[in-house]
Structure 1
Amino acid sequence: MSSERASIDDARAPASVHALVFSALFLIAFAFLGASYCVARALIGGMGPSILMMVQTLMATAATSVFLWWLAPLADLGEILCVHLPALRRARLGHCPHCGYAHESSTICSECGRDTAAPAPWELAARPLKRMAWILIAALLAGAVVGEVWSLHDEANFRVEAAADGTRPLRRSRAFPASFATMTVDAQRNYSSQAWSAYERDPRWQPTDPARRERGWGWKQKADDAGAPTK
């Protein structure tokens, strides 16, 4: 690679542009991974703080980060907008792609002394992948902390609701985004959390609509919680 080509590929966008791009990518990854942590924790089941459950949930959440790698090219958005595109535009206008001086078809710019050939378009390389990896690591840790606090807060609220109802059994859905799962307390004040794996098909009830039958309608809870009010 020539020194002229390297000067384009190694150029950096302004720090303010980097801050804006990286912040946007972090917020997107943080929202996705935080929600994924809450969902994974509900699927694993259990209530209350547990080191083993936190590790299992963190590993499951890390696996979902594969769906965010398509954003990796955006980690170089600053260089694309501030370096590569301006250089290509200057080259099309017959100017030096580095300094913008009108070189009048000369192969060497008389102003900066560098090659006036148009630079190659941007290509995906190791730099945006490394940047995206650091963004995902930071978003994973932040999302795990917020997701765990959110789940524990929801469970604490459920315990308060159960205490207010006395000794009656109680069941309600978890808070968003894990509202598909339920938290239950029986008359003996045993708390549990159940997700999809805690449901089984009820052969005595089948919907008449074939489309609903194919979508899996007609499920009942395994545990016998008859009489437990649902909120």
Structure 2
Amino acid sequence: MKKRTGVLPQDFYTYERLTVKETIKYFAGMFNKHPDVDELIKLVDLEDKKNVQFKHLSGGLKQRLGIAVALVNDPELIFLDEPTAGLDPKARHVVWHLIDEFHKQGKTVFLTTHYMEEAEVLADRVGIIYNGNIVALDTTDKLISEYGKRNLLVLKKASSKAVTAVEKLGIKASFDDATGDVTIHLNHALGVSEILRELTKTNISFDELQLKRSSLEDVFLNLTGATLEGEGRI
């Protein structure tokens, strides 16, 4: 199993004086493998850093090197522990692209993250861990459907009469005096088209319509009652 598995710890570290290229060769030797080192360097976009010592790399570059090291044995199964923690948005998206490439190659990736949007973008299935236990495991859509808040429909610059019209349908709605917006709490019984049809019948107009979808963050908070800075993980 070890030969088929690649691992990136949260804080990847190696000998400070080793260059990028030397680091990959060093770890490949542990598996008695002879990968195309230049190809791995190209994959993680470190071609211009291949002769730079580890100690001179930024956090994002170190993580990308760590991913290359995790691939030296061409694994079928890859474990990535918080691969984008502490990275700037640009560096995070580079890592996202790499993970997407692994998926296209048919590799299985286990990813741990505190970033809910990261899980939504990258994962086929999501497990929510709280206090050491898996409290939910399913696709993103199914988790949101079962545990997320109901979706919201926002009518921008609408009349307060819209609240009365919508509540006749048995749907909760509220009016914001400051903005003139009407927020409608959607349920599974009625769709957006039925609500708009009722508003049209009562001659209620609005400037813009916005649909706010529930997210994995809503699911996490609903299941645990905790903040994302606490014990929760995806």
TM-score bucket of the superposed structures, by smaller chain: under 0.3
TM (norm. structure 1) is 0.21
Bigger helix share: 1
Which structure has more relative contact order (CA 8 Å, sep 6+)? It is 1
Q: Could you say which structure has the higher strand fraction?
A: 2
If you compute each CA radius of gyration, which structure gives the higher value, 1 or 2? Answer: 1
